[in-house]
Amino acid sequence: MNQDRVAQSFRRGLASYGRAAQVQKDGTSRLLDLFALVSTQTRFAQALEFGCGTGFLTRALLSRFEIGELTLNDLLPEAVERTQDSLTDKTTALPGPIEELALPASLDLIASAATVQWIEDQQSLLQKLSEALAPGGWLLLSGFGPGHFTELQSLGLTKFNDSFRDPNAWKGILPDGLQPVTVQMESHVLQLSSPHSVLMHLRQTGVNGAVGAQWTKSRLRDFEARYIAEYSTDHGVTLTYQPVYVIARKRAPKA
């Protein structure tokens, strides 16, 4: 996936993301709620969040957990700076593509929400994250299932279909060092007023970088007509989100 295009899309959407990305915001709470069902741990000496964006998950982590040092990563340096500026807690900045960076060692917690779909080689990234975790450390991750943006997929517009995995597929790419504790998938259907509103929603949340369309007037008219024909409701049109929540733990080394 073209990282420059992804960065450009999210850079344009930074100002509007907080208002438009309600599903993503709700997903951060859901991820931590699921963690609370499998662990009572609330203290972490060293933690890393990658893909911090505008700080939905960052603020949730700091409100729920006692974290000694939190390293924040995002593809956009200005996103890290913006998130840091909104916090009073001590954080360390680590901007850039997470798959290319040297990560802190012996982490107790790695968390990320709605970012891993932008990584081309997810399996290699998971291996890298596993190596950065201390024994007993936790990975809290949300991605998306195969039914995510099903409307756009059916119209041939999304570019990261291979990054959408169901729970069994997510478990299948976890390295041996990570033990899956819970992996769950949900679906949420947004009601938007029109296909134009769908495109605006994608732009405001920075996701339009994954829409492989060079728009002309005729192509836009065709897109709107097909979208309405296939996905219209009494309230407008649908857009499906299908988050998958992955919670895994680093195994202790074998004796």
pLDDT at 84 (0 to 100): 83
Alpha-carbon distance of 207 to 140, in angstroms, equals 22
No. of H helices and E strands in the chain? 9, 10
pLDDT, position 159:
65
How do the pLDDT tens digits run along the chain, 255 residues long? 555 555 555 455 454 445 545 777 788 999 999 999 999 999 999 999 999 988 889 999 999 999 999 999 998 888 888 888 767 667 899 999 999 999 999 999 999 998 998 898 999 999 999 999 999 999 999 999 999 999 999 988 876 667 899 999 999 999 999 999 999 999 999 999 999 999 888 888 767 555 656 778 998 999 999 999 999 999 999 999 999 999 999 998 765
Residue 95: the pLDDT is 94
Q: Tell me how far apart the alpha carbons of residues 72 and 79 are, in angstroms, rounded to a whole number.
A: 10
User: What's the pTM value of the predicted model, to 2 decimals?
Assistant: 0.88
Q: What per-residue confidence (pLDDT) applies to 3?
A: 56
pLDDT score, position 106: 96
CB-count burial class (<10 Å; 0-12, 13-18, 19+) for 68: exposed
**What is d(CA 112, CA 190) in angstroms, rounded to the nearest whole number?**
23
51: three-class secondary structure by DSSP: coil
The pLDDT of residue 13 is: 46
3-250: which CATH number, 3.75.10.10, 3.40.50.150, 3.30.1050.10, 3.40.50.410? 3.40.50.150
Q: Where are the domains of the chain?
A: 3-250
